[in-house]
Structure 1
Amino acid sequence: MKRLSVSLSAIALIAAIPLLGGTPVLASLQKAGESIVQTLTRPQVKLNLGAEKQVVAQDQSGKEQVSWKSLEGNAVVQPGNILRYTVSSENAGDVPAKNLTVTQPIPQQMAYVLGSATNSNGAKMTYSIDNGKNFVENPTIQVKLANGKVETRPAPAEAYTHVRWRFGKSIDPTTGVKAAYEVKVK
């Protein structure tokens, strides 16, 4: 009986040796190592969204002064209020982040303030009026005139559904970018 168990052990060892020394195990280890290296050298862009409410006050001379109040927690806003959303990012990784794209939806209860989108890094700004399916620099709509002709016009602020920023420049480690846009509460 002992003789049989030794023989089976020897056969198991002989069968295992090709798997240990062969390509499948080494390839798996090599792929795992490459995956770990890629993870360690990947950009890690952290995004933060902030919101502020526009506050308009008059100074002593009667001139309007505009300031922004940060909205925190359960903030209350009223129709007509202007809000500014700011997306800030930081590359917490060890390598530059290339081709960063940030897309922000316009909440349904709000209308985009035309021309209000800004950014700190020369990003290309595009907009959607079809719930994020297509993005263009200057959205347009087709309007049927009283005489039956169809005319192309700039899309109204209420038609905008998304704002997108495509950052062409790489974002170096420990640096970031900011993008902002304003909306009006309906």
Structure 2
Amino acid sequence: MKSVVIVTVGVLAIAATSYVPGVVSGRAVAQNNRSQPQLQLRLEAEKQVLQKDNQGKQKVSWQALTGKAVVKPGDVLRYTLNGENKSDRPINNLVLNQPIPKGMVYVLKSANTTNQNSKITYSIDGGRSFAENPTVKVTLPNGTVDIKPAPANAYTHIRLQLPSLAAKTIVKATYQTQIR
């Protein structure tokens, strides 16, 4: 039987979790964690800072959000999720779910990862289903229904799926949101 690990990380949370094979419908089967690989997760956030250089060209930099950071509507935040396999064994079929925080809109096509074998998918229904390119049905003025790409404000979750995370390695994923 294949093992699947599903992990959800809250905004600006730092979490460490043990690999638990047999996650089924949100319920975990108790296992002996001493013999299982361990995954450490860290989520960081940065605010986009736009400045003009000496030639008047706009330069983008990122400022870490720490303590009582101030953000306002329109600000773009970049989240970086680091997952480290601290064990001596690979973690197979790893799934990391990340909700888009309330009051924020996902910046389309901003998600990427350092792992070439990973797959990034998105949910527009609160995390119940995921697709690489979510779509919505739109009723046109003439009454016909058309399928269109989902708008950025419909995205609710990002999912990173890795077939395997080797022992003693790190995977990194980033994505951006904009404050409404």
TM-aligned CA deviation for residue 94 of structure 1: 2.1
Give aligned pairs, total: 150
Could you say which structure has the larger radius of gyration?
1
Q: Is residue 128 from structure 1 mapped to residue 123 from structure 2 by the alignment?
A: yes
Letter in 2 for 1:127: Y
Given residue 171 of structure 2, which amino acid in structure 1 is its aligned partner?
V
The RMSD of aligned alpha carbons is 1.4
Distance between the aligned counterparts of 2:137 and 2:70, measured in 1?
36
The residue aligned with 2:53 is: 59
Divergent runs of 4+, >2 A = 38-41
Structure 1 residue 156, shift from structure 2 partner: 0.2
Q: Answer yes or no: is 1:175 the counterpart of 2:169.
A: yes
Q: Does 1:115 align with 2:109?
A: yes
- Report the Cα distance in structure 2 between the residues aligned to 1:151 and 1:39, rounded to whole angstroms: 49
Q: What does residue 149 of structure 1 align with?
A: 144
Q: Equivalent of 2:86, from 89, 92, 98?
A: 92
Instruction: Say if 1:41 and 1:93, in contact at 8 Å, map to a contact too.
Output: no
Counterpart among 138, 149, 154 of residue 133 in structure 2: 138
1:106 and 2:100 are equivalent in the alignment: yes
Q: How many Å apart are 1:39 and its aligned residue?
A: 3.4
CA distance in 2, matches of 1:55, 1:145: 39
1:160 partnered with 2:145: no
Question: Counterparts of 1:74 and 1:101 in 2: how far apart (Å)?
Answer: 31
> Are 1:41 and 1:94, in contact at CA under 8 Å, matched by a contact in 2?
no
Q: Distance in 2 between matches of 1:102 and 1:73?
A: 26
More strand as a share of residues: 2
Q: Which has the higher helix share?
A: 1
Identity value in percent: 50
TM-score normalised to structure 2 length: 0.80
Deviation of residue 75 (structure 1)? 1.1
Q: Which runs of 5+ in 1 are unaligned?
A: 1-34
Quick one: which amino acid aligns to residue 150 of structure 2?
A: A
SS in 2 for 1:98: strand
Take 1:108 and 1:166, find their aligned partners in 2: how far apart are those partners? 23
TM-score of the two chains, using structure 1 as the length reference:
0.77
